[in-house]
Amino acid sequence: MRGMAVGRFDGMRALVSGGARGIGASTAALLAAEGAQVVMTDVLDDEGRAHAASIGAEYAHLDVADPGAWRAIGDGQRFDLAVLNAGIGARFEDLLDVPDDVITSVLATNATSLLVATREVARCMAGEGGSISVTASIAGLVAHTQSPIYGASKWAAIGWVRSIAPWLEPRGIRINAVCPGLVDTPILGPGGGDRMRAMGLAVLDPSEVAEAHAEVLRSPVTGAAFTVQAGRPVAAFEFAPVPGYQG
Ligand SMILES: NC(=O)c1ccc[n+]([C@@H]2O[C@H](COP(=O)([O-])OP(=O)(O)OC[C@H]3O[C@@H](n4cnc5c(N)ncnc54)[C@H](O)[C@@H]3O)[C@@H](O)[C@H]2O)c1
């Protein structure tokens, strides 16, 4: 029991997308444990409902790639916090064999969804403001040659966060990106984190990314991309200025 303990998010309402498993499940659990009333969403309804029940959250079905579903979930709701986290991977052997639906579904889930979600969540924060944290990736900060379509979607995510932040600031809404390295979740595929560790790669636990989301949600900054890497402190990435840019 928390008793009289003061949670970091006492009294706040939080939306977490992709909350059924992995980073989203950990983040929803942390926010709930820290006093937030959490609405967690996913397309994996059985896992989502079971997890929500175990952490005292509400569950709702929400396909993030469906703009109508975002309008419905936001209708008449008030949110103080949102973690836009749902995402999918995309690997290919040969670019010339990549089907259209892989390209469109990865962009729709990881990138376009954020534009719609930010708009709808901002409506739900109108008046009192709020804080949005997006699960992007280190893949959005480097040339991600292992999975270029995924990399492009995460560059879009970070570009969106940086570009929309000044529009949201006068409304008292902050938006930032959390950019993890490898995290031990089902998105890594069969063998998951163990296979990566066997290759000598450092792998984060989802709880470490959840804690990064919590810190970033409370941070006074906006429009930043925070790297989260094993054995390193969470840090705002320093983007180099573009010589001659007049924007
Ligand atoms: N695991 C990693 O190494 C890693 C690293 C950097 C960033 N990320 C990002 O973290 C986020 C969470 O991924 P994860 O690692 O926890 O993987 P995961 O596969 O365990 O979780 C992703 C969740 O998103 C949900 N989801 C997928 N498509 C959806 C849709 N259209 N609508 C609603 N929900 C949907 C899934 O059902 C799942 O519950 C993703 O955006 C991913 O790109 C993961």
Which stretches of 7-147 are DSSP H helices?
Answer: 22-33, 45-55, 67-74, 100-107, 113-125
Q: Catalytic annotation on 59?
A: no
Q: Estimate to the nearest angstrom the gap between the alpha carbon of 163 and the chain centroid.
A: 17
At 192-211, the pLDDT tens digits run 899 999 999 999 999 999 99
Q: Whose CA is nearest to atom 42 of ligand 1?
A: 87
At 225-241, the pLDDT tens digits run 999 999 999 999 999 99
> Rounded to whole angstroms, how far apart are CA atoms 29 and 46?
17
* Residue range of the domain that includes 128: 13-236
User: Residue 36 falls within a domain, yes or no?
Assistant: yes
Ligand 1 site, residue 205, Cβ cutoff 6 A:
no
Residue 139 CB: number of other CB atoms within 10 A?
Answer: 25
Q: How many domains does the chain have?
A: 1
> Rounded to whole angstroms, how far apart are CA atoms 53 and 42?
14
User: Residue 244 falls within a domain, yes or no?
Assistant: no
pLDDT of residue 3: 53
User: Residue 203 falls within a domain, yes or no?
Assistant: yes
User: Residue 49 falls within a domain, yes or no?
Assistant: yes
User: Residue 215 falls within a domain, yes or no?
Assistant: yes
Q: Whose CA is nearest to atom 23 of ligand 1?
A: 18
pLDDT of residue 93: 87
Tell me which of 9, 59, 79, 150 is the catalytic residue: 150
Give distance in angstroms: CA of 149 to centre of ligand 1.
15
Among the listed residues 34, 74, 30, the one whose alpha carbon sits nearest the alpha carbon of residue 51: 30
> Could you tell me the CATH number of the domain that includes residue 111?
3.40.50.720
> Looking at the predicted structure, is the pLDDT value of residue 5 above 80?
no
Q: Whose CA is nearest to atom 40 of ligand 1?
A: 87
Which stretches of the chain are DSSP H helices?
Answer: 22-33, 45-55, 67-74, 100-107, 113-125, 148-168, 192-198, 206-218
Ligand 1 site, residue 230, Cβ cutoff 6 A:
no
